[in-house]
Amino acid sequence: MKTADEYVESLRQLNPEVYFMGERIKNVVDHPAFRPHINSASVTYKIAHMAEHRDIATATSHLTGERINRWTHIPQTQEDLVNKVKMLRIAGQITGTCFQRCVGMDALISLYSITHDMDRELNTSYHERFRQFLIRTQQEDLMTDGAMTDPKGDRSKRPSEQHDPDLFVRVVERRPDGIVVRGAKMHQTGATNSHQILVLPGQSMTESDRDYAIAFATPVNAPGVIFVFGRQVNDSRKWEGRLDQGNPRYGSVGGESLIIFDNVFVPWEQVFLCGETEYTGTLVDRFASYHRQNYGACKSGNLDVLIGAATSVADMQGTLKASHVKDKLGEMAHLAETMYSGALACSFHSSTLESGVAFVDPLLASTSKLNTARYYPEVTKLAQDIAGGFVATMPGEQELDNPRVGHFVKKYYQTKANTDPVERMRMGRLMENMTGATSMIECMHGAGSPQAQKVVVQRTINWQQKRELAHKIIHADPFADDE
């Protein structure tokens, strides 16, 4: 397993084609816009080597029998699913932000089971290809970007009906040695600091969409793979200083990119689904369930940090003992634990697929993610309420060293006599970082928008059973023997 330092150094060897603010970035490792996200992802490597987290952050590969990083593991048991959730909360507590490796982990798990089903039912060779790919991923401890979300174009039309055929990733050429693909994937968390991309279809396909029913892997530095790194709120603070970043080591959210596939060649051994449209819906559903499992865990870990920041600021400002502040902090903790309990519940209430893979309960996983989308913004609102307006209106950190106004800034940002005003400003910037627009949107739409989770709930709930329960109650004979 790679150490955190080895992970960072491995990225220097890749040199993918990355663009940011109009320029080609030659070295993402040492660029201030990228390094905090790299630091955050490195935590997924760090905790695997920490004695107190080893049992949770590592696993035994069912393919090789070797000890591997859990981020590359295919869960075989209920305990595996539960440990995945515990691992995510730990990483969330350490970073206070997104650590980016979840999507690739869930893509590995989902595609492992789907390729098994295809080989069994269609007599294909996808699963054996994928097993070899997975073994290499485990042995080299590679970070995988799970690429699902297409640009989509006109949402009222299917992939094959779009005015531009490249608005969904598609096969443009089939050759004896492989395929050529074109298109793009959007909102790709951690893509520029991954080792490889695992592309999956983003929705269920019909026979007319056959060229779009495609799953494959490619190195991030393959010819024709182009990254356009996205901007975030206040991202220029990364190269302007440290205090104003709020989270100077780990950044904000996950460093998302647009990935362009400009006629990228993929050899057949890296192709894991090609035209089998009837499996795309199941693949998407399985991926969504695993990914929704995550949110109650990683976001509750992040909220542990935010609750700590709100508590610290309230103490600095002399309001910690106020009854309304204690009530708000209690509500924040309650909502965070509710999110976490949903992630655990869908893990404990698991089943086993034909492939031997442990599968979360889809209904409870979607319910957990829906709660997270609701509760995370509520907790951030309470944190802002407790802290007050200074979180949004502080002067830049450069003013602290301004000979004319620096002493005034420190004087008027001090609260209690023993409060360090700079420390208060640091904590306020952390709260600003964690409650800003980018993190809110990611929490809302990651693993699908709330409406996507509602659809799963509506189609999964046994409505007739609930009606029968009610009818049985109202027609029960009070003097009859219990059945």
Of 256, 273, 258, nearest to 225 by C-alpha is 258
Q: How far apart are CA 79 and CA 92, in angstroms?
A: 20
Active site residue 98: yes
Could you give the angle at which helices 450-460 and 280-317 cross, rounded to 10 degrees?
120
Determine how many CB atoms are found less than 10 A away from the CB of residue 151: 16
Q: Of residues 37, 116, 187, 291, which has the active-site annotation?
A: 291
Q: Is 362 helix (H, G, I), strand (E, B) or coil?
A: helix
Q: Of residues 256, 276, 397, 432, which has the active-site annotation?
A: 256
Active site residue 407: no
Q: Which two tokens stand for residue 263?
A: 């006629």
Q: List CB contacts of 163: < 8 A, sequence separation 6 or more.
A: 153, 154
Q: Of residues 58, 97, 115, 189, which has the active-site annotation?
A: 189
Strands 196-199 and 214-219: antiparallel
Q: How far is CA 188 from CA 168, 263, 406, in A?
A: 15, 19, 41
Q: Of residues 137, 250, 298, 367, which has the active-site annotation?
A: 298
Q: Which amino acid type is present at position 442?
A: E
Active site residue 295: yes
Of 148, 102, 114, nearest to 293 by C-alpha is 102
Determine how many CB atoms are found less than 10 A away from the CB of residue 223: 12
Say how many Å lie between the first and final Cα of the chain, rounded: 57
Q: Of residues 276, 397, 432, 442, which has the active-site annotation?
A: 442
Q: Of residues 58, 98, 144, 218, which has the active-site annotation?
A: 98
Q: Of residues 7, 37, 102, 380, which has the active-site annotation?
A: 102
Active site residue 7: no
Q: List CB contacts of 56: < 8 A, sequence separation 6 or more.
A: 47, 70, 83, 86, 87, 90
Q: How far apart are CA 292 and CA 66, in angstroms?
A: 28
Q: Which two tokens stand for residue 69?
A: 């990083």
Q: Which two tokens stand for residue 146?
A: 């799970």
Q: Are 369 and 448 in contact, with CB atoms under 8 Å apart? A: yes
Active site residue 298: yes
Q: List CB contacts of 74: < 8 A, sequence separation 6 or more.
A: 62, 108, 109, 112, 134, 357
How would DSSP label each residue in 288-333?
Answer: HHHHHHHHHHHHHHHHHHHHHHHHHHHHHHT-TTSHHHHHHHHHHH
Q: Of residues 295, 340, 375, 376, which has the active-site annotation?
A: 295
Sign of CA dihedral 424, 426, 427, 433: positive
Active site residue 163: no
Strands 17-20 and 225-229: parallel
Q: Annotated active-site positions, please?
A: 98, 102, 189, 256, 291, 295, 298, 442
